Each structure stands twice: as C-alpha cells, then as structure tokens.
Amino acid sequence: MEKMRLNKYLAHCGVCSRRDADRLIAEGKVTVNGRTAEPGSQAGEEDEVMVSGRPVRTAREKVVLAFYKPVGVVCTERDVHAERTVADVVKYPERVTYAGRLDKDSEGLLLLSNDGDLIQAMMKGSNGHEKEYLVRVDREVTAEFLQRMSEGVYLEELDVTTRACRLERVNMFTFRMVLTQGLNRQIKRMCTACGYRVRALKRVRVMHVELGDLKPGEYRELDREDVERLYRDCGLERPRQ
C-alpha cells in the first residue's frame, strides 16, 4: 500500500470514517511512528499507526455485516458512559464500524464494515441511498399527514426543508417511510413538526439490504453478491480478496 493521507488510511483500515478520523487527529489521539499526528499527515503499511494507544492494522478482507440493533443499544464509539454500545453486542473478529446511526430508543438494521471508504459512501447524503423505516405514532395516520410528510417538511431548528420521500399507511397508527436523506433525528423531527409523536421506529432496509429474519442483537455477513452490489451502487471498486 502506498502512503496516503492519514484520515484516508484510518478509513481504509476500517477504524472509522474520514470525518471521524479528522476529529481523532485533531484531538491528538493518533500517533504515527511514536509522534502525535497532525492534520495532513500521511501513513502506509510500513508505519506504526496507533489510535488511543491501540495499533491500527490494515484489514485483510473487506466485510459487511447486517446487524439488528436492539432498543437501548447506543451507536457510539465515543461515549464511555454509554451502558451498552454496538461494539458490546457485535463480537466480530475484525474491527467494524457502522454506516448511519439509529437513536438509542430506535431499532433495526445497521450495516457495519471494516471498509471506511464504503461506510463514507453509504452515509453521504448527496448519493441519495434509500433507507426504509416502519414508524408507529401516537395519532391516527391520515391521508393529509402522509401527503404533507411526503412533500417535505420544514424543520425550523435545522433551518432546512426535507427532501420529498415515499410513505405508505400500514395501519391506523403505523406507516412505512423511505428516505434518501439522513438528517439528525429526521423522522422524529418531521413528525413533531406535523403534530405527531413517534412511539416506535424500526429501520428495515438500507439500499438493497433488508433486515430480513434477523432478531434483535443478531448479525449476518452479507454474501459476495450483496457486497459487490453495495460497492457498485456506491460507485466504488470492489476490493480484491
């Protein structure tokens, strides 16, 4: 491997996304050959790179996991006070990190990988990748509510109008929603703006990958065909094994 920018190197090794790598570097938590790294530093396989005192190694094989995040599990790698994190539940031999957060009180599909470039591509909002949810609210789901939500909702606290999206009523209090955007707490904010409160939220699909018959806390490795499709749909070259 040729030397590359340190944030890209950490992403390539599956440590985190490039954005999070920039944060770790700025906080002085990354060293290269015993010296604290600076923004713009470079690294390669011949260098000794450490994050928070732990050595970083190039992942030998790129993997993608589909994980059913249970309610109560926190998507974080930073909060030392979190009672139960994704890393506590997913005991996988390679270090993997997630693409797209779910709130502590939400559940459903998380995709995890040891390829930071893939994670970055899946999370990038401008790529318009679909994410599908089942949402239960505290009031009857009306045609007017579905229409307003689907056309986009202005969120005052973020000063942004959400993209148009697809909704379908499932029953009196539940609807299905497909987003191509990933704003912070987007569905809950949209519902609140429309006078509704979310009671339960489950993500059931990310791009073409479905939650399927996974139970809370379980995960499965995606097969080669699914992984190759993810790379292709993200505009990335599938790494050779």
Q: Which of 82-91, 109-118, 140-149 has the lowest mean pLDDT?
A: 82-91
* 77 has a pLDDT exceeding 80: no
Residues of each domain in the chain carrying CATH 3.30.70.1560: 130-206
Query: For residue 238, what pLDDT is reported?
Result: 67
Query: For residue 92, what pLDDT is reported?
Result: 84
Query: For residue 216, what pLDDT is reported?
Result: 96
* Look-up of token digits 């270090």: 95
Q: Please tell me the distance from the alpha carbon of residue 169 to that of residue 166, in angstroms, as a whole number.
A: 10
For range 235-239, the mean pLDDT: 76
More confident residue, 120 or 58: 120
| CATH-assigned architecture of domain 4-55 | Roll (3.10)
Query: For residue 146, what pLDDT is reported?
Result: 98
Query: For residue 178, what pLDDT is reported?
Result: 97
Given pLDDT bands bounded at 50, 70 and 90, which one contains residue 60?
Answer: low
Q: What is the pTM of this model?
A: 0.76
* 108 has a pLDDT exceeding 70: yes
Q: Which of 103, 105, 159, 213 is catalytic?
A: 103
Q: Is 226 a catalytic residue?
A: no
For range 40-65, the mean pLDDT: 84
Query: For residue 106, what pLDDT is reported?
Result: 96
Residues of each domain in the chain carrying CATH 3.30.70.580: 64-114+213-233
More confident residue, 61 or 104: 104
Residues of each domain in the chain carrying CATH 3.10.290.10: 4-55
CATH number of this structure's domain 130-206 = 3.30.70.1560
Query: Is 101 exposed, middle or buried (CB count within 10 Å of its CB: 0-12, 13-18, 19+)?
Result: middle
| CATH-assigned architecture of domain 64-114+213-233 | 2-Layer Sandwich (3.30)
For range 1-23, the mean pLDDT: 84
Residue whose C-alpha is closest to residue 200's, from 105, 73, 96, 63: 105
